[in-house]
Amino acid sequence: MDKLNKFVATLLAVLMALNSWGIGVIQAKEDAERSLTGPDLKIDGVSAVLMEPSSGEIIFSKNPDRKLPPASVTKLMVMLLTLEALDKGQVKLTDVVSASPEACRMGGSQIWLEPGEEMTVADLLKAVCIVSANDASYALAEHLAGSEANFIALMNKRAAELGLKNTHFVNTTGLEPDAVGEGNLTSAADMAILAREVIKYPLVFKWTGVWIDSLRDGKSFLRNTNKLVRFYRGCDGLKTGYTDKAGYCLVATAKRDGVRMIAVVMKSSTGDTRSRDITTMLNYGFSQYKAFQVCQAGDKVGKVKVFRGKKTTVDAVTPRELTAILKRDQTGEVIKTVKLNRMASAPVKKGQVVGKVELTYAGKPCGQMELVAAEEVGRAGFFELWGQFIQQAIRAVVGIVNN
């Protein structure tokens, strides 16, 4: 009997030890998976990131590098490539796009394009930004690259250029593929970086910040899929997403009192928890940062030489207010570094980019802005150039005499 009792006691001790070890392993695994930086915010989503975009600083993150399907958040890359093409003059907002049968076969959220229906790039981009239209996204891809396959290659190329290490695209919509195979994959950290790039083009807010709009002369009603545009003060973008596999995703941005934040949540359980997750992060971000004015709109910060212009120089000015984004407890000097183009060739347009100004605090970036020409400078004729040469020669001679 004593031997039996001793055996039972030993067995129980071993089982308890194994159980304890197993729990410890499970807990350690959960802790490792729940990679958290910053404050311990209550976030429902599997993955999340809060970024201050002027510096790129990550204020909060939860599993930021976890690879997850992005659903329609995919369209941030479609938006970026379209905005970049517009900026380079490769396409125009007024370009007319004829919808292909392939574009019209897209499921999910759509504006019900008909084969052959014509719509401008501006209206297609509006549909992508506001209602996440899959058919509009596909049509834009075909217009910009000739085919969806070509555009997907551009998407992945741009992702690599931006250092999006956990991102790979297989389509332009974020829909899960019908056939066997992996769909689009990305991470919250990558989407924050992508969003930071998108908001460099203020044109995007013309659509992402709108709650209600329309197409087809008012016949097609559009309501933003991002409820925070209506219900969160300062929210003006950017992109929602949902599929069964991806869950509820949202990349949002908001600006308050000169401070902008980017918040990303992926695989939240419902649309409401997705919005709560973003609200929690944005509220925290705005509580931690402040905007410090460095320049007013129109401030002159230098002169750029003009080659063959009616004037030999043009003033470089700030196109809008320039602020440094600092933590609320930071005090000290903000360093302003002006980088001007060596020369601008006439004709120079008013508002043409002629340089940039960068702000740093304690060696870290805290703001930047492109500098633009304050006025138009026309191209000089032969006699005007000759007159400028004579004036420069006279000034040189006077300088030698005075010295």
Indicate the pairing of strand 343-345 with strand 300-307.
parallel
pTM of the model: 0.83
Catalytic residue among 55, 132, 187, 275: 132
How confident is the model at residue 8, as a pLDDT?
43
Tens digits of residue pLDDT in 76-127: 999 999 999 999 999 999 999 999 999 999 989 999 999 999 999 999 999 9
Give residue limits of the domains in the chain: 47-290, 296-402
Can 75 be counted among the known catalytic residues? yes
How far is 197 from 251, CA to CA, in rounded Å?
Answer: 13
Mind listing the pLDDT tens digit for each residue in 260-306? 999 999 999 999 999 999 999 999 999 999 998 999 999 999 999 99
| Active-site entry in 62, 75, 255, 267 | 75
Q: How many whole angstroms separate alpha carbon 182 and alpha carbon 184?
A: 7
Helix pair 75-87, 134-145: axis angle to 10 deg: 40
Place of tokens 């008909």: 114
Asked about 132 being catalytic, the answer comes back as yes
Q: Is 72 a catalytic residue?
A: yes
Please tell me the distance from the alpha carbon of residue 320 to that of residue 324, in angstroms, as a whole number. Answer: 13
94's tokens: 């007024």
Say yes or no: do domains 47-290 and 296-402 share a fold: no
CA distance 117 to 105: 13
Q: Which of 72, 109, 187, 275 is catalytic?
A: 72
Q: Is 400's pLDDT higher than 80?
A: no
CATH of the domain spanning 47-290, picked from 3.40.1080.10, 3.40.50.1980, 3.40.710.10, 3.30.1960.10: 3.40.710.10
CATH second-level architecture of 296-402? Sandwich (2.60)
Closest of 71, 35, 106 to residue 271, by C-alpha: 71
